[in-house]
Copies of this chain bind each other. A is one copy, B any other.
Amino acid sequence: MSESELIPPRRRALEHLLSRLGFKDAALLAQLRWDLLDQALIHPSLDSQRNNDRLELLGDSVLRILATEFLFESYPDLSVGELTAIRSDLISDAHLAELADLHGLERYLELGSSSQKDLAGRDRRLADAFEALLGSFYLSWGIHTLPNLHPWLDPYLRRRVEEWFQDPTRRNPKAALQELTQRLWGELPEYRLVAAEEHPPHFTVEVWGNGRCWGRGEGRSKKAAEMAAAAVAYGQLHSEEA
Interface residues on chain A, number (Cβ under 8 Å): 55
Contact: B154 with A74, CB < 8 Å?
yes
Contact: A68 with B57, CB < 8 Å?
yes
CB contact under 8 A between A152 and B23, given known A69-B144, A90-B160, A143-B143: yes
Q: Does A85 contact B (CB under 8 A)?
A: yes
Contact: B145 with A142, CB < 8 Å?
yes
Chain B residue numbers with a CB within 8 Å of A69 are 144, 150
Which chain B residue lies CB-closest to A75? B161
In whole angstroms, what is the CA distance A90 to B53 when docked? 20
Which chain B residue lies CB-closest to A216? B195
In whole angstroms, what is the CA distance A10 to B156 when docked? 27
| Interface set, chain A 59-90, CB cutoff 8 A to B | 61-62, 64-72, 74-75, 80, 83-87, 89-90
Closest CB in chain B relative to A65 CB, distance in Å: 5
> Per-residue CB proximity of A186-207 to B under 8 Å, as 1/0?
0000000000000000000000
Q: Does A14 contact B (CB under 8 A)?
A: no
Which chain B residue lies CB-closest to A78? B54
Q: A58 is contacted by which of B62, B72, B148, B152 (Cβ under 8 Å)?
A: B72
Chain B residue numbers with a CB within 8 Å of A33 are none
In whole angstroms, what is the CA distance A53 to B84 when docked? 10
Which chain B residue lies CB-closest to A76? B54
Contact: B145 with A143, CB < 8 Å?
yes
Q: Does A7 contact B (CB under 8 A)?
A: no
Q: Does A1 contact B (CB under 8 A)?
A: no
Q: Which 5 A-B pairs have the closest CB atoms?
A: A61-B68, A145-B145, A53-B80, A61-B65, A61-B64
CB-defined A-B contacts under 8 Å, sample of 11: A23-B152, A54-B83, A57-B84, A65-B65, A66-B146, A66-B157, A69-B144, A70-B153, A134-B149, A137-B146, A141-B149
